[in-house]
Amino acid sequence: MSYQLDLEQIRINFKFHETTLKHNPNKQTKFLPYTTKSDKNKLKDFSMILGEFFRLVERKRTEKTIVFDDILEKMLLEISFDKEDDRDSFINIVNTIFQTDDNKTYMFHPYIYLYLSSDTETRKLGQFLFDVLLCEMDQRNGGLKINFGTTDVLSQLFIKVLPQLTEYHENEKPIYHCAVPAISSLFHSDLKWLLKNPNLFILHAEKLLKYYYFFYVSQFSLSCQRFLNDEEQGVQPIYFNLEWENTSSNRISYENGWKKIETPISQLFSHVNCLEFLNHKAHSNKVYFYHDIGAKLKSLDTEGRTKLFNDLEILLKEYQEKLSDTDWEGFKYKDIYDDPVKCMMYKLFRAIDYQFNDVSSRKQQYKLYQQWFVSFCQDNFIKIRGRLGKTLKLTPEYLLFITKVIIKDESKIRMKKLFEGFKERGIDFDRDSQNQIIKYFEAINIIEKKSDSGDAIYVKSFL
C-alpha cells in the first residue's frame, strides 16, 4: 500500500504560489464545523441545532417554520362553535397551552423540533453532530425513528394543521468525518432508548445532544493529542466535579478534568490544518485521521517511506519559507518517535502550532476557532472556582439524566455498574465525588443498600 503526498495540490489549496500562505483546512477534510469567526452567542439557543439534527434524522427539508397565528386559524377551521364565547375560550386555551410568553411555540411534542429554524452556522453544527454521532449508514438510513404518536386530541389537531415538510430519500454521504466511532455506537443506543418515550424525549433530547457534543469534541481533541502513538484509540474518561461540592487543587478531578483537555482543545486549529496537509494524497480520496495514518505507515516499504519523508521535508521547508513573518529561530522541536517519518509529521504539526502562537494576527484566528467549543463548555459544563479557575461540573439535572440513560429499562443496577456506565460515556469521578453522589441519591431515595459494601449498593430506576 502507498502513501504519497500530493505536494502540488497542497501548494494550490494553501496558496503557496501567492504572496501569503492561507490556512485552509476544509478542502480535503472536514473534521470540525468551526470557523475563525467565532460568535459565542450562536450556541446560546441550542434548539436551532436540535432542529437541524432531527430534520436530518427524519429526512425532512427545512422550508417551513411555525407561524402561530396561521396555525391557530387552521385549527379554528377544523372546529364548529355554537357560540362566539366558545371560540374565544378555545383561542385562549390554545394560546395558553401552545405558546410561550415570548410568542414561541412550546416544545410539547417531538414533531415541533422539525420546524425549529436554523441559520448557516447552526445548520453546520447540526450536520456535524448528525455525521459524527450517527456515522454508520444503517444508523442514518432508517435506523432511528421519532415517536410522533399522541393521545391528546388538542395536540393531534395542532400537529395535523402544521405545514407539510418535504421528505427526501437520497443516500447523502457524510460531510464531516467521524474520528471517534466508538462514541457514535454509544450515542445511537442512548438516543434509540430515549426516542421510545416521547415525554422523556421532550424533557431530555437537548441534554443528550449537548452532552454528546461535548463528549465527541473533547475526545477528538484528546485523540489528536495522541497523534501517531501506537496505542488503543479508546475513550479517555475526563474527571468531573459535582456542581455543588467543594474541591481543591490536590484532587484527581482537578488535574484530570478541564486541565486535561484545555491544551488539546486550544490546538484544534493546528490539528485540522495538519490533517488537511496529510490528507492531500495522490493515491486515495479516503479521509485519514491520525490513527489511520499510523496504520498506513506500517505497511509502507523502504522506498515508500523514503519518498514520504522527503516530501514531508520539502513541505515543511516551503511552509516555513512562505511564513517569513514568523520568528523560526525561536522554534524548538524535539523528536518523540523512533520512526523518522512520524518525527517529520510531528515536526510539521509543531511548526503549524508554533506560527499560530508567534504571529499576533494568526494567534487571533487560533483563539477564535477554539472559542466555538470553549464558549459552549463555559455555558454548560464549566464552573469557575476562584483561584482554581475552570473545572468541569455536572449539575444535578445532568447527573440524574445520565443516570437514567445508563439504567434504561432495568428496575435497578449496582452502583459499581452505574459508575462504569459514566466512565464509558467519558465521565469519571474521584472517590470524594462518588461519595457525594451516593449521599445525594440517598437523599432523594433512589438508593437500595444490601450492605455498606460498594457491590451491594443499588440505584433504583426513577421517573
Is the CB of residue 205 less than 8 Å from the CB of residue 166? no
Is the alpha carbon torsion for 178, 183, 187, 189 positive or negative? positive
What are the phi and psi torsion angles at 149 (to 5°)? -70, 150
pLDDT digits (tens, 9 = 90+) for 259-306: 999 999 999 999 999 999 999 998 888 999 999 999 999 999 999 999
Kindly list the domain boundaries of the chain, sorted by start residue.
Answer: 7-37+265-375, 49-226, 395-460
* Ranges 143-152, 202-211, 229-238, most confident: 202-211
Write the pLDDT tens digit of every residue in 436-459: 999 999 999 999 987 665 568 999
* pTM confidence score: 0.94
Q: For residue 148, what pLDDT is reported?
A: 67
Q: Which residue has the cell 472517590?
A: 431
pLDDT of residue 214: 98
Question: Residue type at 139?
Answer: Q
Please tell me the distance from the alpha carbon of residue 284 to that of residue 301, in angstroms, as a whole number: 17
Q: What is the pLDDT of residue 146?
A: 76
Over 90: is that where the pLDDT of 401 sits?
yes
Q: What is the pLDDT of residues 156-198, one digit of tens each?
A: 899 899 988 888 766 678 899 999 999 999 999 999 999 888 8
Any idea what the Cα angle at residue 221 is, between residues 124 and 416, rounded to 5°?
105
Partners of 394 in the β-ladder: 242
Selected residue with higher pLDDT from 344 and 153: 344
User: Residues 331, 354: contact at Cβ < 8 Å?
Assistant: yes
What is the architecture, at CATH level 2, of domain 395-460?
Answer: Orthogonal Bundle (1.10)
Q: Is the pLDDT of residue 64 over 90?
A: no
